Amino acid sequence: MNSDIIKQNLAALIEKNPTLRYVLPKLAAANIRYGLYAGAHVAVLTSNRTPTDIDLLVHDDDLPKLRAMFPFAKTKDVGDGVFLYIGEDDVVEFMGLADVVQDGHVYPFRSLMKP
């Protein structure tokens, strides 16, 4: 995979989504660990689609800092995941403390980045 193309696609995603220009520096300043996933991740890697939102997976330990940083965020706790939404039309979705439950089995869906 060509890293220059990925960098260009990421820059285009940020340019098209002003909320990211606000969010990303705040995450970096607070040392919040996160990763891009879902449709926006596919768009950055493949250039084959335009994402309708940006999904960010947040490390469980950093979720309290994230909540404090964005106290105005819409929040939804569904028991097997916590979601925070910010931006026009909730364009940025943060997810943490998430599990996928399938056939009685629990599969953690987590950012495993170390501090």
CATH number at residue 26: 3.30.460.40
Q: Which amino acid is at 81?
A: G
Instruction: Between 49 and 84, name the one with better pLDDT.
Output: 84
Tracing tokens 């950055």 back to the chain, one arrives at 44
Q: Is 11 part of any domain?
A: yes
Structurally, how many domains does the chain consist of?
1
Measured CA to CA, the distance from residue 113 to residue 111 in angstroms comes to: 6
Task: From 61, 62, 63, 59, select the one nearest 76 (Cα to Cα).
Answer: 63
Average confidence score pLDDT of the chain: 83
Instruction: Express the helix, strand and coil content of the chain in percent, nearest 5 each.
Output: 40, 30, 30
Q: DSSP class of residue 91?
A: -
pLDDT tens-digit readout, 71-115: 999 998 887 788 999 988 888 999 988 877 889 888 777 655 555
Mean pLDDT of 41-65: 80
Measured CA to CA, the distance from residue 72 to residue 69 in angstroms comes to: 9
Question: Whole-model pTM?
Answer: 0.79
Give the structural domain span for 51: 3-109
Indicate if the pLDDT at residue 12 is higher than 90: no
